[in-house]
Amino acid sequence: MAGSNDTPGDDPRLSYQEALTLVELPPLPSSVGTTSGSVRRFMSTSPVYVQTTDYPRDHPLWGMHKSGFGGHVYAQSGLAAYKVWRSVEDQKGAKPHERLGIHTIHGYFTLAAKPDRPFVYHVQVLTTLRSLATLSVTAYQPSQPSTNPKADYFPLADGSLPLEPPSFTGIVSFKLAEAHSSGVNSQEAPPQVRFADILSSRRPSEWAPSPITDIEAIVEYFAHENKSIVGLFPMVDVKKVDMSAYNKDKPPHERREISLYRLVKPLPSPADGNDSILVHAFAADRNGLLMVGNHNGLGHKFGKAATISNTFVVHENVNEAVMEYGTGEGRDLGNEWWVMEYSFPRTARGRGIVVNKIWSPKGVHVATEYQDGVVRSNEASEKVKL
């Protein structure tokens, strides 16, 4: 179990670059010279995070849920597309002001992530314009476990294993940076203003860790035992702000949840806003659908939550998304604490949607996640396969 340590070397949680490392695989013979462009292939080398392995091994929740965290394949798909697009720009000799930054990631989840084998990504450039480009990404996993029995690292040989049907399919778009048109730059008041009384009531680091599994019954169980488990969730330290007083007596669509997050280790140097965007996209996928269940009366009879589609839209130029590493303990957000503001506008037909706004420490609305997924109770009549 990880703690909140002051130096990155003391923290066992994986950094962005450790968690999402990719190696390029040789191209498939059939993908070379096609009219729509070559398919480039990449493979992950680190296993996907599985939340329930963060519980003590003697606890009944340990290993209960064996699927990997969906944010891994989502963010890593963006990274694979980013690598391909950067190489295209390098070949063109693009100057810094001509380079495009990540604009959107939109995708569909079709198979649960298995932690004992890598992801293999097939990336293809779809469209290229001066100010916009789109790339397709299809993520697969081998139909058998890694050739490394420990599955703590995936060797290059795993890239030759036969593949299952796609786990994830997506489109990643890249856009040219722009100035505000006629100076127009509008947004609602940031959470730092709207929830100032709550956020200023304690230091960011003093809020409780984001629950490993944010299901009401599980959270209450650990609160009863007076346990607070941080776990090994990669890349970011996430704190959950207590919004219970604000949410009291409000209908689900008017409630809000707030999480504060910062890097556990520095990003690669020199800092690239695109790397930061992928960290934001990774963090945004955590616990959202579980909170939908909590706010709709399923917190003590939760059956299933699974993402169907996820869209991450960046509203700013990539430089506004850059995350700074820091371990400050001040009462404000400093330069390192970012804010996720969740709302739950619609839940019906066994599905729920999460709208998650990403706010910078300075109160800029940088991005929004729109996540649609299965949210079902554990009643027998609800046990239907996707």
Q: Record the pTM.
A: 0.93
More confident residue, 56 or 340: 340
When pLDDT is cut at 50, 70 and 90, the band that residue 228 belongs to is: low
Residue 184 in domain: no
- Determine contact, residues 322/262, Cβ cutoff 8 Å: no
Residue 207 domain boundaries:
8-178+190-382
Q: Give the pair of three-digit tokens for residue 201.
A: 């009531």
Mean pLDDT, residues 81-85: 98
Rg (CA), the chain: 21
More confident residue, 55 or 186: 186
**46-55, 254-263, 328-337: which has the minimum mean pLDDT?**
328-337
Distance, CA of 136 to CA of 76 (rounded, Å): 13
Mean pLDDT, residues 116-142: 98
**Across all residues in the chain, what is the average pLDDT?**
91
Predicted pLDDT at 4: 41
Residue 51 in domain: yes
Percent of the chain with pLDDT over 70: 91
When pLDDT is cut at 50, 70 and 90, the band that residue 49 belongs to is: very high
Residue 49 in domain: yes
- Determine contact, residues 67/177, Cβ cutoff 8 Å: no
Residue 363 in this model has a pLDDT that exceeds 90: yes
Distance, CA of 364 to CA of 23 (rounded, Å): 34
Residue 43 in this model has a pLDDT that exceeds 90: yes
Residue 214 in domain: yes
Residue 317 in this model has a pLDDT that exceeds 60: yes
Residue 366 in domain: yes
Mean pLDDT, residues 225-253: 91
Residue 299 in this model has a pLDDT that exceeds 70: yes
Biggest CA–CA distance in the chain, Å, is 62
* CATH number of the domain where residue 87 is located: 2.40.160.210
Predicted pLDDT at 37: 54
Residue 130 in domain: yes
Alpha helices in 93-252 (DSSP H): 191-194, 196-199, 216-224, 244-247
When pLDDT is cut at 50, 70 and 90, the band that residue 325 belongs to is: very high
When pLDDT is cut at 50, 70 and 90, the band that residue 386 belongs to is: very low
Predicted pLDDT at 35: 41
Q: What is the pLDDT of residues 98-113, one digit of tens each?
A: 999 999 999 999 999 9
Residue 183 in domain: no
Give how many domains the chain has, as a whole number: 1
Exposed / middle / buried, residue 306 (Cβ in 10 Å: 0-12, 13-18, 19+): middle
- Determine contact, residues 71/282, Cβ cutoff 8 Å: yes
Coil/strand/helix, residue 16: helix
- Determine contact, residues 355/369, Cβ cutoff 8 Å: yes
Predicted pLDDT at 63: 61
Mean pLDDT, residues 286-291: 96
Mean pLDDT, residues 344-360: 98
**158-172, 177-191, 222-236: which has the minimum mean pLDDT?**
222-236
